[in-house]
Copies of this chain bind each other. A is one copy, B any other.
Amino acid sequence: MYPKSLQNLIEAFRLLPGVGEKTAERYALAVMDMDTMDAEGFAQAMHAVKEKVHRCSVCGNLTEEDQCDICRDSSRDHSQIFVVQSPKDVLAMERTGEFHGVYHVLNGLISTSRGVMPEDLNIDSLLKRAGQAKEIILATNTTMDGETTAMYLDKLLHEKYPDVLVTRIAHGLPSGGMLDYADDMTLAHALSERRRMG
């Protein structure tokens, strides 16, 4: 057996997603081999994240302030709301530089298989702000749970704000995608959502 403290750290690493016994062991031993300063900084960073970072009161994205940078940015188009599953998706979209509106982070997707219900998600605050928007772009993943969540939100938003335009991100072949490698669903969508050239 490893010493107790090392065993505790291995257990802690196992709480991370996709980390099994072997990987946790490797990580814990790597911490052992780190400079004391690096390891202390690591522990400190973990502490600080829980202390300082929380959800933006408007959109649910992560921030150290009351509102996130994007919600506080008056140069952005606050009438266009891009609805995503997680803060990672905000970052991915921001990297493209193509979107100038604001975001709404659901913090999950409705999932019957994993027992995630609408009330577990950040939906109430979307309903509150949706009335001021012109367009709400549902950009949840194109997976089963993502589609379910999009359909649920579409219905909800349509009932409450019939005048707000609700759209769904396009679903088709990815860039560089090859037809013979695409799955049936993707191909079917690529066909049904085809558009006129030029």
Which residue of the partner chain, among B39, B44, B91, contacts A49 with CB atoms under 8 Å? B39
Chain A interface size, as a band, is 35 or more
Asked if A163 is at the interface of the complex by the 8 Å CB criterion, the answer is: no
Q: Is the CB of B43 within 8 A of A87?
A: no
Q: Is the CB of A48 within 8 A of B5?
A: yes
* Residues on A facing B (Cβ under 8 Å): 1-6, 8-9, 11-13, 15-18, 25-32, 34, 36, 38-53, 62-64, 69, 86-88, 91
Contacts of A30 in B (CB 8 A): 15-17
Copies in the complex: 2
Known: A29-B88, A34-B15, A53-B32. A5 touches B63 (CB 8 A): no
Q: What are 26 A-B contacts defined by CB distance under 8 Å?
A: A1-B91, A2-B87, A2-B91, A5-B45, A5-B49, A5-B53, A11-B45, A12-B41, A12-B45, A13-B42, A15-B34, A15-B38, A16-B31, A17-B30, A18-B26, A28-B49, A29-B86, A29-B87, A29-B88, A31-B46, A31-B49, A31-B50, A32-B49, A36-B50, A39-B46, A43-B46
